[in-house]
């Protein structure tokens, strides 16, 4: 009976030591948890999921406040308000002339710029854009 008591005491002591070690090394203090909470509330709105540090909708809003960047594509402004399927072959070539001169890192910012300028990208060009971006 006495050996079982010593084993029990040893397990309790080891448990306490591990608990203290875990609290000191892995868990942030209560003060830092309280400081981090307001920051997260500033970054995410109520409709935001909690799987990201910064919400995708917040990222879009952040880019909406920046000025429109042109990628030597001012001629595409003439297509403002057009439907995606209403482009002629010559007009699609104008889109391709711009698309295939862009650097890979500029593809998504260019698409964002086009959307912010109120221009709808033709479906064919959108497919080519995604193909270029994914390659």
Mean pLDDT of the chain: 78
What pLDDT does 124 receive?
A: 92
Q: What is the full DSSP assignment across 43-61? A: H--TT--SSSSS-HHHHHH
46-50, 82-86, 99-103, 120-124: least confident range = 46-50
135, 111, 108, 130: which is closest to 121 by C-alpha? 111
The predicted model gives 96-119 an average pLDDT of: 90
What pLDDT does 38 receive?
A: 46
- Report the C-alpha gap between 55 and 21 in whole angstroms: 34
| Residue bearing the bigger pLDDT, 54 or 128 | 128
What pLDDT does 65 receive?
A: 63
Considering the entire predicted model, what is its pTM? 0.51
Note the pLDDT tens digit of each residue in 36-83: 444 444 444 444 554 445 555 555 555 556 778 888 888 988 899 888
What pLDDT does 9 receive?
A: 93
- Report the C-alpha gap between 16 and 112 in whole angstroms: 56
- Report the C-alpha gap between 8 and 3 in whole angstroms: 9
């Amino acid at each position: 009976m006495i050996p079982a008591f010593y084993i029990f005491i040893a397990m309790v002591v080891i448990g306490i030591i591990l608990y203290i070690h875990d609290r000191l090394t892995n868990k942030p203090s209560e003060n830092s948890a309280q400081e981090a909470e307001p920051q997260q509330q500033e970054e995410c709105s109520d409709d935001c999921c909690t799987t990201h540090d910064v919400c995708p909708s917040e990222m879009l809003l952040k880019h909406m406040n920046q000025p429109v960047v042109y990628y030597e594509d001012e001629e595409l402004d003439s297509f403002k308000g057009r439907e995606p399927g209403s482009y002629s072959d010559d007009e699609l070539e104008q889109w391709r002339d711009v698309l295939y001169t862009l650097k890979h890192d500029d593809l998504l910012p260019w698409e964002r710029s086009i959307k912010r300028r109120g221009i709808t990208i033709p479906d064919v060009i959108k497919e080519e854009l995604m193909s270029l971006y994914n390659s």
